[in-house]
Amino acid sequence: MKALSTSISKITLVLTAALVTTGCSAVAKPQMSNATASSATSLQAKALDNTLLYSDECITEREVVNAQKMWGNGIVRIGSVFTNKGDYSAEAADFIQDMYGYDLSSVLFKPTLATNDQFRSSFDAALSYFVGGNDAYAEDKGFAIKPYTNVKFDNVGIINNSCRMAVAMGNYFFTDTSGGETKVEYTFAYVKDSDGDLRIVAHQSSLPYNPTSN
């Protein structure tokens, strides 16, 4: 019996040592509740979606300036297609898809010439502002089909301290077909998508304050 007891003790010591060596524990770990597990899965899925939608590269000032040029050229192009009796609505839809982040996240868009519906949080609302023709936004005359022949940005500053988002503020100037120029104040915020292209997620613009109008 003494020999048997000694053997059992040795086996117990060996098993304990093996558990310690492999990092195993004889104490059962508490299990996550279904709600906690579901929440963790949801967060992981969201993180994966963000990885797929956004680039992990920082935004440079040069990229912002290039994106502004593309935006201005796009406005001029929509007006040109309208003048030549082409499909300017399709041109504007492509412009919004390329330049704005409606397919990435919420977009805060407060355009210049909007009074009744000042904020355009959907793709269709933005399209209406640029080309009109939507009964839901009767005030829209089609900003981009005025048309304009040139758009020039004059940045007061570009902030990209957060790396993943850049904000630009300043004036831009719109030249119409008669040569007249309109100055408008703007603030644009950009993110970079997974293809490395900058997309607008916030856009606010307004005409400068005119003290004589009061």
Q: Are strands 181-192 and 165-176 parallel, antiparallel or unpaired?
A: antiparallel
| pLDDT, tens digit, 9 for 90 and up, residues 87-98 | 999 999 999 999
| Local structure of 174: helix, strand or coil | strand
DSSP state of 135: G
Other C-beta atoms closer than 10 Å to the C-beta of 181 total 12
Residue 191: predicted pLDDT: 97
The share of the chain scoring above pLDDT 90, in percent, equals: 71
Average of per-residue pLDDT across 17-38: 43
Q: What is the pLDDT of residue 24?
A: 39
What DSSP state is assigned to residue 179? S
Region 16-42: mean pLDDT is 44
Say if residue 7's pLDDT is above 90. no
State residue 34's pLDDT score.
60
Q: What DSSP assignment string belongs to 19-79?
A: HHHHT--SSPPPPPPHHHHHHHHHHHHHHHHHHHHB-SSPPPHHHHHHHHHHHHHHHHHHH
* pLDDT tens digits for range 102-159: 999 999 999 999 999 999 999 999 999 999 999 999 999 999 999 999 999 999 999 9
Phi, psi of 18 (to 5 degrees): -65, -40
Contact 201, 211 (CB under 8 A): no
**pLDDT range class, residue 212, cuts 50, 70, 90:** confident
- Residue 162's pLDDT band (cuts 50, 70, 90): confident
For 66-84, the pLDDT digits (tens) are 999 999 999 999 999 999 9
- The confidence score (pLDDT) of residue 177 equals 96
Distances (CA, A) of 182 to 115, 175, 210: 18, 7, 13
Q: Is the pLDDT of residue 99 over 80?
A: yes
The string of pLDDT tens digits covering residues 47-57 is: 445 557 899 99
Q: In the structure, what pLDDT confidence band is assigned to residue 214 with cuts at 50, 70 and 90?
A: low
